[in-house]
Amino acid sequence: MNFTAIDFETATSKYTSICSMGICVVENNVITERKEIFIRPEPLEFHEYNIKIHGITPNAVKDKPQFNEYWEQIRPYLENRLVVAHNTSFDITALCATLDFYNIPYPKFQYMCTVKLSQKAYPELKSHKLNNLCDALGITFSHHHAYDDAYACAMVLLRILYDYSLLNANELAECFDVKIGKLYPGCKVSTHQREPKQKKNAQPRRFHNSNTHGSL
C-alpha cells in the first residue's frame, strides 16, 4: 500500500500558525522517506503553551521560509496520494486553513484518520492518543515532534494493515466502516478556529525580524 503520513505542529491555537510539518512516505508498505520542515508562521507569534508541547521557539524558525514558499516542495507528497494523519480533523483543517490564508488552491488527494481506524481496530484500548496507542503497539517514537509523529502514524497504519490482512484503503474503509475523505480544488472545508487553550490573559511571544527568507 502506498500513502503519505503527515503531522503539523502549530505556534499558537490558530490553524494557520504551522511551524513544523512532518512527512513520512510509504511505498508498498515500506517507509521510503521521512522528513521534517520547519516553517515561519505569519505572524511570527508563539504561545508558551505550544512551545511547552513541541519545543519549537520563534528563534528556531525566524529565518525559515513561510508555508507558501515551501508549497511546491510539499505538494508532490500529497497530490493524488492517500494521506493519513492521527486526527485528520486537526491536520487536514490546518492544511486547508493555511492554503486559504495564502490563496493557494487545494491539492487533490484522499485521506484517512488513524485515530478512527485504531478505535475500530483496537477497541480494547482505553486510549487511542498517539503516544498511548504506540505504547500499546510497541512503536517507539518522540511525541510532539512532527518528524516522529508522522512516522508513528505511518507505523500505526502499517500495523493495522498487517493485523487485519488488509491491502488498500478500500479494504480499510470496508473493514472498519469508515469513510475515505477527499480533498480537491474548490471543495468546501470548514476551518472554524479552535478555542485557545492558553489562559485568557496570556500574551503570545512575538518576534520581529525583517528577514523572512531564510535557507531551506
Structure confidence by residue, pLDDT tens digits, 134-155: 999 999 998 889 999 999 999 9
DSSP string for residues in 34-99 = EEEEE---SS-EE-HHHHHHH---HHHHTTSPPHHHHHHHHHHHHTTSEEEESSHHHHHHHHHHHH
**The pLDDT of residue 15 is above 80:** yes
Average pLDDT over residues 109-123: 98
- For 147-206, write each residue's pLDDT tens digit: 999 999 999 999 999 999 999 999 999 999 999 999 999 998 988 775 555 454 455 556
A 10 A CB-CB count for 79 gives: 12
Higher pLDDT, 210 or 24: 24
Three-state SS at 146: helix
Q: Which residues pair with 31 in a beta bridge?
A: 26
**The pLDDT of residue 214 is above 50:** no
pLDDT at 142: 86
Q: Is 138 left (phi over 0), alpha (psi -120 to 50) or beta?
A: left
Mean pLDDT is lowest, of 120-124, 131-135, 188-192, for 188-192
Question: Within 13 Å and on the Cβ side, how many CA atoms surround 193?
Answer: 9
- Identify which of 95, 96, 90 has the alpha carbon closest to the alpha carbon of residue 129: 90
Sign of CA pseudo-dihedral 91, 84, 78, 23 = positive
